[in-house]
Chains A and B, each alone.
Chain A
């Protein structure tokens, strides 16, 4: 009994101490800066993980570092919750031919170390990110800029792709027209960097200096990252709280339990063990909405039984045999949304009415009929379909469910073909050695249809793992890239999607939902198109 009372007391003491520190930091900010004078309450604690790379925007290609960098930096444009594009540091981004872009930078922007944000801050940062010798993970984002090379180390500034006309004017020349170029500029790869970065990139990666709504206070590796409101920030994403503490979790279940126990304010993913219950347990303080992530069963070109006319019929048969509504409901408890196209519902221009997308409807009779037709043309007889994926992440459950559909409807064999680790899976994919259909997951970097279609299905594109190639599709993409307006481009992208539905280089399965939750200690929590909570607008209630 005595020990029990002791633990209660120490636990109380601990939470008391936490509350005190929270108050103290809140008070400090209220008094010391003006930019956040109206900031409500205290520090918001958020579930995150240890960033996998130094905190340099062009090195940040994963979600944990991504959440930090998005809040530390402001790009030329930013995306709101719906994925709409707004100017941030840019005053205007203009082009007559989608080839030469004149970017005017707004006055009054400074980095949190006091230096000015100029056209050169962007040009030098992009130049650094693109240079092969700097080994930046996101270097391929600069591929469209004239002068870029995958083979030799070139400078985009020296090559003339980036021209700084004066402090507020940057002229970018692309190697081919890209109508969606302005939309890309809100992605991390295109963030500006201060002079301090070029003096010592390594030190900068540990203690980055940005121009975004927040600035880095401390980074305790494998523990937490603390961000404070940046008093120099003059954009529209003004922090409504006294700061953020992004806490590194290795396991989503423990984050969820911390949220339930009141030790955490926001979780950015609901663990799969809580899919069925979180909406009740959190009493309305949760989000579950489609995000810019799609899962596809890629049909590789190296499978002979899926080529030609018979192969075409088989692709359709497999697609019709999958009951997407049932699998998303029973396996994922509604945390996935059945796909109706090749992009995502959060993307501008998305529609349910694309010609040919009824191939995604579950129709057992039609599926059997199509498979029988294929057998009549080019029989494979007693066939077992393999569905490959990496097994170090939770994929077996849904593959089993999909296989179950296929076995029952088509009366052929179907098995999960696991690769022990992600890199072995990538290796096999790149080598064209996967003996069946395989999982293709894609998360958009910027909210545009082109980001889903080009990299995945363009001939020879970086992530076209099924090695599909179609001249009509490539032509449509090129046409859309040169379109006069974003609306025209969308119409052309939809036509390109219609080609995909005819050919089925991949079989769309479902969109991943953004699932998240928050405690009753915070308000105004919203999850954006990119699945992350929009942190600057979160307020704390006291």
Chain B
């Protein structure tokens, strides 16, 4: 087990190098000149533009820029953004709130999705099953920003139950609504996945055996049906954490959360290579860690899987 984890962690290094190189090349290939946009419609004096290009090494060839970036990573000094703030500080500020948002969303979709999916799967074809299926279809079909705006106006503005935006004070209460919106689509997928998986397990041999042994209904459901049905669901949830963190841009915009999505978007439009690559690399790392966690969870869920 320890060897397995060690090997997986070592794999991070080539993945990290590959990801940063690829990302840096992509950002480098972005057309246009970010320094031009700094002056707005009026533009900056030519001499000032030259100085800024030199300061940010924008006049260097690609490989030099990339090596300077790697040096920045190693020395933990990524320099400043065009706005004069430390890149590390910008990232350190954007990550926690998005991480909290993504975790809350993951929790909501996992608990509600698995719960509803289990109930629907156990009573296949019943009233609950049918209505939950219709509901999940609806949630998948309606785009996130529509759900976001409608919830914000109804729950926030008209009913006043929850804070309308979370920009000033992103705590659990003010993040509840954005997390729900963010979780909505994945919730529907988790629900459908769980439902199908539970139905399959119900007709499997080991469930019949368990029942034949005389186990109670609750024991059969909990220990055998659910546990075995969770493997595809956990795979989905693991991959989803990364998607939630990087893909929250619409939700973050609606609820004025200054997180990873918005920061990344701004950095891309402004052409701040270092911020874009660093932030995306962090997201890649989140994916890797989440995947490792998923693989380890397999072993816990299915005794047949062992890592050595």
Contacts and interface: CB of A to CB of B under 8 A. Distances in A.
Interface stretch (A254-262, A328-336, A360-368): A254-262
Interface string A219-259: 00111100000000000000000000001111101110110
A382 interface: no
B46 interface: yes
A133 B51 contact: yes
Contacts, number: 147
A61 B269 contact: no
A30 interface: no
A421 B51 contact: no
B43 A462 contact: yes
Count class of interface residues, chain B: 35 or more
B152 interface: yes
A14 B38 CA distance: 39
Given A250-B258, A254-B165, A7 B173 contact: yes
Given A135-B48, A250-B262, A423-B271, A221 B93 contact: yes
Contacts of B106: none
A140 B47 CA distance: 11
Given A14-B173, A151-B47, A8 B161 contact: yes
B187 interface: no
Interface in B27-42: 30-42
Interface string B139-179: 00000000001001100110011111101100001101000
A4 B258 contact: no
A161 to B, nearest CB: 17
Interface in A243-300: 247-251, 253-255, 257-258, 260-263
Interface stretch (B13-21, B199-207, B227-235, B249-257): B249-257
Most buried by B among A135, A139, A253, A423: A423
Contacts of A440: 41
Contacts of A430: 36, 43
A139 B45 contact: yes
A297 to B, nearest CB: 15
A224 B168 contact: yes
Contacts of B269: 392, 421-422
Contact of A423 (B36, B94, B156): B36
A421 B44 CA distance: 18
Contact of A132 (B37, B39, B45): B45
Given A14-B173, A135-B51, A251-B254, A260 B39 contact: no
Contact of B258 (A248, A260, A426): A248
Given A10-B173, A205-B84, A222 B258 contact: yes
A140 B36 CA distance: 15
Given A139-B48, A251-B256, A258 B32 contact: no
Main secondary structure of the interface of A (DSSP, over half): mixed
B258 A223 contact: yes
A221 B258 CA distance: 10
Interface in B224-279: 252-256, 258, 262, 269, 271
Contacts of A139: 45, 48
B83 interface: yes
A427 B33 contact: yes
Contacts of B44: 137
Contact of A424 (B31, B157, B256): B31
Interface in B44-65: 44-48, 51-52
Given A248-B167, A258-B164, A263-B165, A140 B157 contact: no
B173 A135 contact: no
A7 B151 CA distance: 15
A11 interface: yes
Contacts of A422: 37, 269
Contacts of A132: 45, 47-48, 51
A462 B84 contact: no
Contact of A254 (B32, B45, B254): B254
B165 to A, nearest CB: 5
Contact of B52 (A8, A135, A254): A135
Contacts of A25: none
Nearest to B265: A250
A261 B164 contact: yes
A223 B43 contact: no
Interface in A1-17: 4, 7-8, 10-11, 14
Contact of B160 (A253, A261, A424, A442): A261
B85 interface: yes
A424 B163 CA distance: 39
A62 interface: yes
Nearest to A425: B32
Given A7-B176, A255-B256, A421-B32, A260 B37 contact: no
Contacts of B30: 421
Interface string B61-88: 0000000000000000000001111000
B167 A249 contact: yes
Contacts of A423: 32-37, 271
Interface in A422-470: 422-424, 426-427, 430, 440-443, 455, 462-463
Nearest to B51: A135
B37 A140 contact: no
Interface in A186-237: 202, 205, 221-224
Contacts of B52: 135
A150 B173 CA distance: 53
A455 B42 contact: yes
A455 B42 CA distance: 9
Most buried by B among A247, A261, A442, A463: A261
A54 interface: yes
Interface in A158-193: none
A53 interface: yes
Contacts of A7: 161-162, 173, 176
A136 B52 CA distance: 11
Contact of A222 (B34, B39, B93): B93
Nearest to A422: B37
A67 to B, nearest CB: 15
Interface in A367-407: 392
Nearest to B37: A423
A11 B163 contact: yes
A52 interface: yes
Nearest to A442: B41
Contacts of B262: 250
A62 to B, nearest CB: 7
Nearest to B161: A7
Contacts of B33: 423, 426-427
Interface string A1-41: 00010011011001000000000000000000000000000
Contacts of A150: 45-47
A442 B41 CA distance: 7
Contacts of A50: 258
Across the A-B interface, the 4 shortest Cβ-Cβ residue pairs: A424-B32, A423-B37, A222-B258, A423-B32
5 contacts: A11-B162, A151-B47, A221-B93, A251-B254, A254-B256
Given A54-B83, A61-B39, A223-B167, 7 more contacts: A11-B161, A137-B39, A150-B46, A250-B258, A263-B165, A442-B41, A463-B42
